[in-house]
Chain A
């Protein structure tokens, strides 16, 4: 098994180094651009703020991209990530609010908030996995078109969240317990510059970073990962070798749902304490772009997400210092950057060979 995976592994590592260099270059370029635009007014604390914000903005995108990596490595295209995140965001918000209201008189406001946030996260994950199960059933068992199935989930999610928002959440909302507090990691958060950027964040940011490492390990260094990749590249061969193709795909899609659920929960448990219809604002799709940018590898996906995060944080920094520049143009930058990077530098990104095609046994 180890011999089989080695060529794939070496290619993957090379890709990552190029991507890493690009990202480093992009960051320097962004910093230079930032200072040119705002006239050198970005001091150290401003830079630290910008980079910390980059990591926060990158988190939901990275979750979406990781969901894509996990699904597509097993050969299932999932464009319903956006919808799953939207539903997870609404569920997390609602559960957080009502669980808090239910128990705050019993256990006190402080601990009620703590409990309700974790309960909300859990329920949001369960719901996202259920949506994934729908996608898995339709596209793996019923062998329907995977992109249609994903589109169904997207439209369904817009409808369901909008419906419940209008029926139950639009007015008379009691005050909620708020988002997760910042977790300062002991000692590490004291490191100058790096500490405030990396180690003074909220829990889902850490989860995202650990998940990138974990998925990279699982995908490239465990039998499970080898099986997943085999199913995504050549399901028939994998089947001949005794790998249960459908089971592997199911489990990967469900795991993807879990990850997308984390991304959705970020919106209402970490970013803001409100829910709006359509609040995911295309980040699920941008996550797919990050996944392709990263050539279906977890670290690559993280890099793609960081570029978007950087684009967003630089935009907001510019808008603070130079309100006279029309905000629309800096806002376009990450999107244009993605197009340029996808075409010029990364070139042809090759998806897993069996990506998007249903598997029929026999």
Chain B
């Protein structure tokens, strides 16, 4: 059933469904979750004022306080990648519960690459670090993927096992081989300044280097090329220039050249991010880009179609001649690469030491599963859900500070929200909402032990 709704033009469906029931249930679900959370705070603290203090603190912390909104966006970025990682797995019938391990391996791989290739300019080093981090996560996910495809060993168990191996391995690497001998803290050597993911504030300064400007121009040219190609494919009438087979490529090239010359002076003239303590970094563009890429991959390419067929009905896929082995492997590799990128971006862009400190469980594993499920595996839904989770994660500290309510209440609210999204019957019963055109949205996103 999931395939049926998603196969036929998700953009049109998205708006059509948004105005009807599809968005109504999640909104009511979240509202109910916050309401129940309020009741819990009220019962445990004995005062309604505390509820107000907690929720207003949460809101102020997430949006209103100094750098609140940008910090929320910083917290959103890894969630987007991890949510997408889980969603790609679900769409292909795999439950990748090991994103946290892949995230860890991705971050340690990036921390290594950023030091090992010191001296290279950003135009090479930055893409290389992202690639190494993604490859680390992909490799870590490919092992359970291969075992699942070849021997049928459950990916749920194997990815969990790989999580623990990843944690121990990282602990060892950070504490021994990659340890920064200079620092008193247990952390890796800081990465080369060229490997850093630029903060938004530093963009004009970075662009003064022509090589950095070239890197940006190349990326933007690629984006322009893809957009032009897709736009062209949708045009019924194609006047002379557009019909030219080189049209898209020329548009990309021209846009890249314009950007290369125009962006450095323009950003010097006017740039909205001036706060030097602002941690927001260009990873936000990568996150949005990743969401678009996964949407395009899953719904606009043959590979994505095959992945979804394998996910929704493995027997049908086998009957249609789609290789299960290949698709299971690919799904795990894509999923792991996304999770690895999340770790990479945290090391290169967020960590204050620009290195990987010895850390304890980030709690990203469950959160990313919840994000993917609340968004019903839709890439753009994941952007929204990640923003919500990022805001809650970011606002939690001020909430705890201003009201004394433990920030763990956030997890309770998230779990309740997920519960109501998963079982919309509760919401419909409570609010007397009639079911929309798709009678029961509670279609199994996951079935038993995955695949099968």
Q: Please give the residue numbers on chain A whose beta carbons come within 8 Å of chain B beta carbons, in ascending order.
A: 77, 79, 138, 142-149, 151-156, 158-163, 165-167, 277-278, 282, 285-286, 288-289, 292, 326, 328-329, 331-332, 335-336, 338-339, 342-344, 347-349, 351, 355-358
Quick check: is B128 within 8 A (CB to CB) of the other chain?
no
Of A154, A288, A356, which is within 8 A of B157 by CB? A288
- B164 and A282: CB pair below 8 A? yes
B39 in contact (CB, < 8 A)? no
Given A343-B151, A357-B448, 9 other A-B contacts at CB below 8 A?
Answer: A147-B95, A148-B418, A148-B446, A155-B414, A156-B416, A159-B415, A162-B411, A288-B157, A329-B168
User: Closest approach, in angstroms, between the C-beta of A251 and any C-beta of chain B?
Assistant: 20
Known: A158-B366, A159-B415, A163-B409. A357 touches B447 (CB 8 A): yes
Greatest chain A CB density within 10 A among B361, B416, B444 is at: B444
Chain B 409-452 interface mask (CB, 8 Å, partner A; 1/0): 11111111011001101100000000000000010111111001
Of chain B, the residue at the smallest CB distance from A331 is: B168
Bound complex: CA of A336 vs CA of B163, how far in Å? Answer: 11
CB-based contact B147/A336 at 8 Å: no
**B153 CB within 8 Å of chain A:** yes
Asked if B277 lies at the interface with its beta carbon under 8 angstroms from chain A, I say: no
- CB pair B422–A342 under 8 Å, yes or no, is no
B171 touches A289 (CB 8 A): no
Mark B residues whose CB is within 8 Å of A.
40, 44, 95, 97, 143-144, 147, 150-154, 156-158, 160-165, 168-169, 171-172, 175-176, 361, 363, 366-367, 369-370, 373, 405-416, 418-419, 422-423, 425-426, 442, 444-449, 452
> Do the beta carbons of B160 and A332 come within 8 Å of each other?
no
Name the A residues within 8 Å of B154 (CB-CB).
292, 342, 349
Q: Kindly report which residue of chain A lies nearest to residue B95, judged by CB atoms.
A: A147
Chain B residues, Cβ within 8 Å of A326: 172, 175-176
Check A336/B446 contact, CB under 8 A, given A163-B412, A328-B171.
no
Number of A-B contacts (CB under 8 A): 170
When the two chains form the complex, which single residue of B158, B406, B411 contacts A339, counting CB atoms closer than 8 Å? Answer: B158
Question: CB distance A166 to B157 under 8 Å?
Answer: no
Contact of A288 among B156, B163, B444, B452 (CB under 8 A): B156
Give me the 10 closest cross-chain CB pairs, A-B, nearest first. A356-B448, A159-B411, A162-B408, A166-B406, A159-B412, A156-B415, A348-B152, A155-B415, A144-B423, A148-B422
Q: Are A151 and B370 in contact (CB under 8 A)?
A: yes
Q: How far in angstroms is the closest Cβ of chain B from A69?
A: 14
What separation, in Å, do the CA atoms of A148 and B158 have in the docked complex? 19
Give 14 A-B contacts (CB < 8 Å), ordered by A residue: A142-B442, A145-B442, A145-B445, A147-B95, A155-B370, A156-B416, A159-B415, A282-B163, A288-B157, A292-B154, A335-B164, A348-B152, A349-B152, A358-B444
Residues of A within 8 A of B164 (CB): 282, 332, 335
Contact A155–B411 (Cβ < 8 Å):
yes
Given contacts A289-B160, A332-B165, A357-B448, contact A148 B152 (CB under 8 A): no
CA–CA, A147 and B96, complex, Å: 12
**Residue in contact with A338 in the complex, picked from B152, B157, B413, CB distance below 8 Å:** B157
Bound-complex Cα distance A326 to B169 (A) = 10
Q: Are B162's CB and A339's CB within 8 A?
A: yes
Name the B residues within 8 Å of A153 (CB-CB).
415
Kindly state the separation between the CA atoms of A145 and B450 in the bound complex, as whole angstroms. 12
Closest residue to B45 on the A side, CB-wise? A167
Q: Is there contact, CB below 8 Å, between A77 and B449?
A: yes
Given A145-B444, A167-B44, are A339 and B161 also a contact pair (CB < 8 Å)?
yes
Given contacts A142-B426, A144-B422, contact A151 B373 (CB under 8 A): yes
A145 with B158, Cβ < 8 A, contacts A282-B164, A343-B151 known: no
Nearest CB in chain B: distance from A90 CB, A: 12
Residue contact A338 to B161, C-beta cutoff 8 Å: yes
Taking a contact as CB atoms closer than 8 A, the residue among B162, B366, B446 that contacts A147 in the complex is B446
Name A159's contact: one of B144, B168, B410 (CB within 8 Å). Answer: B410
CB nearest neighbor in B for A338 = B161
Question: A343, B153: Cβ atoms under 8 Å?
Answer: yes
Q: B414: nearest residue on chain A (CB-CB)?
A: A155
* Cα distance A77–B373 in the bound complex, in angstroms: 17
Q: Which residue of B lies closest to A348 (CB)?
A: B152
User: In the docked arrangement, what's the CA distance between A347 and B152, Å?
Assistant: 7
**A202 smallest CB distance to B (angstroms):** 26
Q: Tell me if B151 and A347 are in contact (CB < 8 A).
A: yes
CA distance A282 to B363 in the complex (A): 12
* A167: min CB distance to chain B, Å: 6
Most buried by A among B164, B172, B409: B164
CA distance A150 to B154 in the complex (A): 17
- Across the interface, do B147 and A343 meet the contact criterion of CB distance under 8 Å? yes
Question: Which B-chain residue is minimally distant from A149 (CB atoms)?
Answer: B422
What is the CA–CA distance of A165 and B176 in the complex, to the nearest angstrom? 34
Contact, CB under 8 Å: A151 / B444 = no
Q: Within the complex, which residue of B151, B172, B418 is in contact with A152, where a contact is CB–CB below 8 Å?
A: B418
> With contacts A158-B366, A335-B164 known, is A328 near B172, CB below 8 A?
yes
Q: How many angstroms from the CA of A146 to the CA of B333 in the assembled complex?
A: 26
* Most chain B beta-carbon contacts within 10 A, residue among A147, A286, A342: A147
Distance of A58 Cα from B410 Cα, bound (Å):
33
Asked if A152 meets B415 with Cβ closer than 8 Å, knowing A162-B406, A163-B406, A342-B157, the reply is yes
Residues in A whose Cβ lies below 8 Å from that of B172: 326, 328-329
Judge whether B147 and A339 touch: CB under 8 Å: yes
- Are A355 and B448 in touch, CB under 8 angstroms? yes
> When the two chains form the complex, which single residue of B160, B168, B405, B410 contacts A285, counting CB atoms closer than 8 Å?
B160
User: A291 → chain B, closest Cβ, in Å?
Assistant: 9
Residues from chain B with a CB closer than 8 A to the CB of A349 are 152-154
The answer to whether A145 touches B157 (Cβ under 8 A) is no
A342 close to B153 (CB less than 8 A): yes
Q: Write the chain B residue with the least CB distance to A83.
A: B415
Residues of the A chain whose Cβ atoms lie less than 8 Å from the Cβ of B150: 343
> Across the two chains, which residue of chain A brings its CB closest to B411?
A159
Q: A288 — which chain B residues lie within 8 A by C-beta?
A: 156-157, 160
Q: Are B444 and A152 in contact (CB under 8 A)?
A: no
